[in-house]
Amino acid sequence: MLASDPAAQSRLPRPEIAQVRPIGHLPCGTEVHAISLVSGRFAAQIMTYGGTLQGFWVGAQNIVLGYATLDAYLGDQTAYLGATIGRLGNRIRDGRFTLHGVAYQIGVPQDQGLHGGPQGFDKRIWSISQVTETAVTLSLVSADGDQGFPARVAAEVTYALTAEGLEMTHRAVSDAPTPVSMTNHAYLNLGGAVADHVLQLNAAQYLLPDAQGIPVGAPRPVEGTAFDFRTPKRIGEVLDGVDPQIEARGGFDHALCLDGEGMREVGGLSLPGGVSLTLWTDQPVTMFYTGNGLGAGTSKAEAPLRARAGLCLEPQAYVDAINRPDFPFNLTTPDHPHLSRIAWHFGH
């Protein structure tokens, strides 16, 4: 079990003022900006590259993993640190699906269409549509055929500081039916080892993944398994235990089916002696990932993160739902835009 990498959270200083400033250029010459938001004890920094949440501070503490430079993000293409994920988060079996009798291929089959394809929303430059001292809305247009997906999609992500913490709202409109499931890929660390964090999730079922991370069979009950976080549990109690499903994925990398519907409180994350986060979302599933693959990508600009330096809670649609009629899923159409919301609340 590896400890967290505190340097990953300390390299980026907390913003003192709300501002928009250039922070670098892509190899093609496109300029990238950082947007700082400040409100009381909360602050955030967002990059136009990937619509990325680069840092989020509760008081002086940054609780998300992030690099301090654009070059570091460009040098580590596999972590998705804080990125906006789309068009379709997570995986699609063999990267293939059929819609209205037409077959589509996203990326190469062995990549399982991961997070929207090899050049998904996380690797695009987003435009700043609106910005205030406490909120920013970024926009992106994904053309018909982008990454193999049908239809033109106009996407937005809004980051907003509130009295309770941070809200992330994802929207997308399309000119024809297409699958969309946007989320955020922030890695959380409240100030210690992932194993020492205490997790609680209102989730009575989970999805069993195969070797490619694709769910097999129907949702399974968490009762009597390592996936039962309905009451608060120290992650280390089950992270390196004898459960073969966790061992096969190198740690937690599983979708838990959240109880209830609509915008609701679905759980919380805490660290003894540290801050406590309450998770809210309107999505049916959250991926729980213990950062098992962190460090697999190479960053030439900064030291790469170590495995399990942070954990992800990624609210989203059911994994591979476009290929599973038994999983609930709504296509995005001109009459039915995509909307997904995530909120982190913190006690006073």
Q: Which of 115, 185, 254, 338 is catalytic?
A: 185
Q: List the beta strands (DSSP E) in 189-325.
A: 198-201, 205-207, 220-221, 233-234, 253-257, 264-270, 276-281, 285-289, 312-316
Q: Which of 33, 156, 254, 314 is catalytic?
A: 314
The partner residues of 25 in beta bridges, in order of sequence, read: 31
Q: Are 284 and 257 in contact (CB under 8 A)?
A: yes
d(CA 188, CA 313): 8
User: Coil, strand, or helix at residue 194?
Assistant: helix
**In the 8-state DSSP scheme, what is residue 72?**
H
- If DSSP states are collapsed to H, E and C, what string results for 287-326? EEECCCCCCCCCCCCCCCCCCCCCEEEEEECCCCHHHCCC
Q: List the beta strands (DSSP E) in 143-250.
A: 153-161, 165-174, 183-184, 198-201, 205-207, 220-221, 233-234
Active site (annotated) includes residue 185: yes
- For the CA atoms of 243, 248, 250, 254, the dihedral, rounded to the nearest 10 degrees, stands at -80
**Catalytic amino acids?**
185, 314
